[in-house]
Amino acid sequence: MECVYCKGKLKKSEAPFTLERPDYQIHWNGLPAYVCTQCGEPAFEEKALELIEKAVESIEREKDRLAV
C-alpha cells in the first residue's frame, strides 16, 4: 500500500485518533492503522473507522442527556 499524501510505504501499526466537536472530544491512543514510514500519516483500518462512526453516532444521540 502507498501513502496518499507522500507516496511512501504503509506499515501495519497503531495510531492515535482525536475528534474535536464543540460539545465533546473523542480520543483513542492507538487504533489499528497503516502508518506511512515516510511522513507518519495514518490510514485507519475499516474496523477502526466503524468503531469511530458508532461512537460518534452514540454520543450524538445521547449528548443532551450527558450534558450537565
Structural domain spans, the chain: 10-66
C-alpha cell at 14: 497503531
Element (H, E) at 23: none
Extended strands (E) in the chain: 10-20, 25-36, 42-44
pLDDT tens string 2-49: 999 999 999 999 999 999 999 889 999 999 999 999 999 999 999 999
Residue at grid coordinates 507516496: 7
| pTM for this prediction | 0.78
∠ CA 59-64-68, rounded to 5°: 110
CATH architecture of 10-66: Roll (3.10)
Element (H, E) at 58: helix 46-66
